[in-house]
Structure 1
Amino acid sequence: MTDNPGILLTLLAFLIVIGVLVFVHEMGHYLVGRWCGVKAETFSIGFGKEIAGWTDKRGTRWKVCMLPLGGYVQFAGDMDPSGMKSKEWLSLPAAERNQTFQSKSLWQRAAIVIAGPAINFIFAILIIMGFVIAYGTSAALPIAQQISENSTAAAIGMQPGDRVISVAGEKIDLFEDLQQKIIMIPDQNVEIVYERDGQLIAGQGKIGVNIMKDRFGNEYRLGLLGMSSSQVEWREVSPIEAPVVAVEKTAAIVDQITTTLGQVITGKRSIKELGGPLKIAQVSGEQFKMGLETFVLFVALISINLGFINLLPIPMLDGGHLMFYAIEAVRRKPASPKVQEWAFKSGFALVMVFMLVVTFNDLSSFGLFRALSG
């Protein structure tokens, strides 16, 4: 029997997650835009019909809209997705034109764009800092206390007392690092280097697969090495050290995201495992029901994902804009309007196809198509 959070709690949790993170992301764009002297005409949480809003003394319309799957800051003069200097922009009075996005230098435009993803990472780092200060961090070494029979660890010859040095060329310092690496590569052949009595031994083996089910009935396909450690240790983290620890943990999460994305692209992981808004809503409700601390950590995780995705070099995303700014910096002039128009239309199509795929995956995971087929 599963512990379902219910539709109302799921919807509430999802709105909190999306609302907070979209606000944080767009606030990054807004604040740096203001610092660069750009007027923001609209700050919107959601798309479509306005539900509520107000206009501040600077002329910015702050509003909440019907469809909560995102948001945007509309800067003055930003009349098309590529931000090109159109005839409408050229016809503006000089004083008004100086407050537009297009009037700013290349580095200022890049700073405004990158501020959104950057503040998502900063927001997550601050949350993680709070947790490591309150609870400390793992200090257990990757030393085997027990080796399971017929496991990957046994197959490559590991014995109790051996210390894992690296997995697939990636250095392992703590047992937590080993866990995070292994769970992301189920059923993959990798080289594992371990140390015994001062000697390094390299073993090649296929990571096992552990199918786990949580209290909500969700199944997870995780990698399994077959090695346990009894040296579970925790240490306190000072406020001075906390930023470093939080950045390291954030970097580890980004590494997991890139590993997963690489596995999907290379076919090592099924695209069916990718989830979309409906899956995020489901997990939001589940994490909310598990408690405030678990939910806040989930918000940090989604914030990191949002920052990472927006930095991908896909037109229509922040990373796509930054890609064109890099081209402009090298060429000393922007890409042609036709190239930018083609790229942004292609980027929009790619994003829409991706959304359709992950939404199809979400509906499939909920059993909708099985129910329709009887």
Structure 2
Amino acid sequence: MTQYPGLLLTVIAFLLVIGPLIFLHELGHYLVGRWFGVRADVFSIGFGREIFGITDRRGTRWKFGWLPLGGYVRFAGDMNPASQPSAEWLALPPDERNQTFQSKSVWQRAAIVAAGPVANFLVALVILGGFAVVHGEPRTPAVVDQVVAQSAADRAGLRSGDRILSANGRTVDTFGDLARYVVSRPDEQVALDVARGGATLNVPLEIGVRIERDRFGNEYRLGVLGVRSAQPVIVPVGLIEAPVVAFRQTGAILQMMVDGLGQIITGRRPVSEMGGPLRIAQISGEQMAGGLTAFVGFIAIISINLGFINLLPVPMLDGGHLFFYALEAIRRRPVEARVQEWAYRSGLLVLLSLMLLVTFNDLSSFGLWRGLAGLIG
């Protein structure tokens, strides 16, 4: 029977996921900016008209906007999209000018911009490290114990005792590594390097497909190999090792995100799989209904996702700013303001188009278009 977490729980869960992550992302920008002596005029959670706010003794306006889908820190002197010196900036008194974003060196500006995504990754590291200490880390060797009859592995000739070393050249150490690689590649061709009887074999196969439906009615098309491990190996993790484990797991999640983006760009996965805020809200409610551990784990994944997306070299995102700062460092002078302005306008158009696309996908996944078609028909 399909279950639904309810609208109120979904809204609360979404705000509990997005709100703190946006705050911590912007707090990263703010704190590093303060460290370098940059004054912040506005710290906003959400966009649009202010619904509540206070001004601190430093003159920073801390406020909430009515649209909770992002946030920003506006630093002193940030008068144009390219954050470059202007006539208005040059007219400021020297002491005020020294507190502006433009007055800082390229590496300081880059550090301020990078601090937001870094804060998101730190959130995930803390959560995943805590999970590792509490639950341990799965380290089951990638050794085949059983091969499922008529599965992809069976058709390719894999046997009990085979140790899988790599998949399409990517190293496989544990069953978790293998599962992460396979699950997002249904129907894809893959070549496995397999250790058998002292020899290394190259085994080509086509990954199988398994359709799963969760208790909320969501359907997933997953890749499946058809091999089983022996008894799972869970290794205790201490406080000293926890950051290393968390860093490794964060890297694995990032790799899956990069793979997924590459699959969409190359057409191996449909664009319809891209989700937006509505989909995040839906999953937030479902994960909260699944318990605290599932919900906190989901926060870690979304935090990594926010950090990853913001580092993409798209103008208007942090990665776009970092790209221009890299060019500035190489050229020893900033990219012309007019070029940056056009780039940021183009980036805004791309982001708005992407937002429309993912919103369309979200509504489609909720069955809105099928419902409208039924009403019209």
The bucket for the TM-score relative to the shorter chain is over 0.9
Q: CA deviation at 1:231?
A: 2.6
Offset at residue 152 of structure 1 (A):
1.6
Distance, in Å, in 2 between the alignment partners of 1:359 and 1:281 is 12
**1:170 maps to amino acid:** R
TM-superposed deviation, 1:322: 0.3
Whole-Å separation in 2 of the counterparts to 1:93 and 1:210: 66
Deviation at 1:122, TM superposition (A): 0.8
TM-superposition CA deviations, 1:198-233 (whole Å, max 9, x none): 111111111111111111110111110010112311
Residue in structure 1 matched with residue 308 of structure 2 by the alignment: 308
Distance 2:80 2:205 in 1: 52
SS of the aligned residue for 2:354 comes to helix
Offset of 1:50 from its aligned partner?
1.0
Per-residue displacement from partner, 1:304-362 (whole Å, max 9, x unpaired)?
00000000000000000000001001111111111101100010001111111000000
Shift of 1:75: 0.3
Amino acid in structure 2 at the alignment position of 1:218: N
In terms of mean alpha carbon deviation, does 26-35 or 330-339 score higher?
A: 330-339
Alpha-carbon separation, structure 2, partners of 1:252 and 1:337: 38
Residue 16 of structure 2 corresponds to 16
Corresponding residue for 2:144? 144
Task: Tell me the equivalent position of 1:175.
Answer: 175
1:60 aligns with: 60
Number of residue pairs matched by the alignment: 374
The amino acid that maps onto 2:354 is F
Q: CA deviation at 1:147?
A: 0.6
Cα distance between partner residues in 1 of 2:174 and 2:157: 21
Alpha-carbon distance between aligned partners in 1 of 2:100 and 2:310, rounded to the nearest angstrom:
23
Tell me if structure 2 keeps the 8 A contact 1:141–1:231.
no
Match of 2:118 in 1: 118
- Provide the residue aligned with 2:203 in structure 1: 203
2:188 paired residue number: 188
Aligned equivalent of 2:250: 250
* Partner AA of 1:276 in structure 2: G
Partner of 2:162: 162
**Displacement of 1:276:** 0.4
Show structure 1 runs of 5+ residues with no match: none
Partner of 2:342: 342
Q: CA deviation at 1:70?
A: 0.3
In the alignment, which residue of structure 1 is the partner of 2:132? Answer: 132
TM-score by length of 1: 0.99
> Which secondary structure state, in structure 1, belongs to the residue aligned with residue 313 of structure 2?
coil
1:79-118 equivalences under 5 Å are 79-118=79-118
Give the alignment of 1:216-235 within 5 angstroms.
216-235=216-235
Residue matched to 1:326: 326
2:198 and 2:231 map into 1 onto residues whose CA distance is 20
Secondary structure class of the residue paired with 2:252: helix
- Alpha-carbon displacement from aligned partner over 1:262-321 (angstroms, at most 9, x marks no partner): 000000000000100000000000001111111011000000000000000000000000
Task: Give the 4+ runs in structure 1 shifted more than 6 A.
Answer: none
Give 3-state SS (helix, strand or coil) of 2:194's partner: strand
Q: Secondary structure at the match of 2:149?
A: coil
User: How much has 1:155 moved relative to structure 2?
Assistant: 2.0
Aligned identity (percent) is 57
**TM-score normalized by structure 2?**
0.98
Taking only aligned residues, the RMSD between alpha carbons, in angstroms, comes to: 0.7
Measured in 2, the distance between the counterparts of 1:353 and 1:294 equals: 32
Deviates more, 1:229-238 or 1:301-310: 229-238
3-state DSSP class of the match of 1:373?
helix
C-alpha distance in 1, partners of 2:198/2:313?
A: 45
Partner of 1:352: 352
